[in-house]
Amino acid sequence: MRPSEVRALSTAEIESKLEDAREELFKLRFQFRTGQLTDYTRLQATRRSIARLATVLRERQIAAELTAQKES
C-alpha cells in the first residue's frame, strides 16, 4: 500500500489495518521459525507496511496535538 493510499484512509481504517498487519507479521514469523515460510520477502513487506501505517497514524496524532495547542 502506497503512502498516498494510506493517507486517504480514515484513522479507524488505519488502526484496523495496522492491527491486521501486526497479526500477519506474527504468523509469518511463526512460519519462518518452523520452516514453513517459502517467500521471505513477505516478512519485509509486512514490516514496511506496518511502518507506513504507524507513520501516518503518528502524523495525524501530532497534527491533532498542534491544533489543540493553537486553540488554547
- Whole-structure pTM value: 0.89
Helix axis angle, 41-71 to 11-34, nearest 10°:
150
Q: What is the CA radius of gyration of the chain?
A: 16
Rounded distance, CA 41 to CA 57, Å? 24
Structural domains of the chain sorted by starting position, each given as residue range(s) with its CATH number in brackets: 3-71 (1.10.287.310)
DSSP state letters, 27-65? HHHHHHHHT----THHHHHHHHHHHHHHHHHHHHHHHHH
Higher pLDDT, 3 or 48: 48
C-alpha to C-alpha distance for 33 and 40, rounded to whole angstroms: 11
Q: In this predicted model, what pLDDT tens digit does every residue of 20-43 receive, in sequence order? A: 999 999 999 999 999 999 999 999
> Looking at residue 3, what is its pLDDT?
87
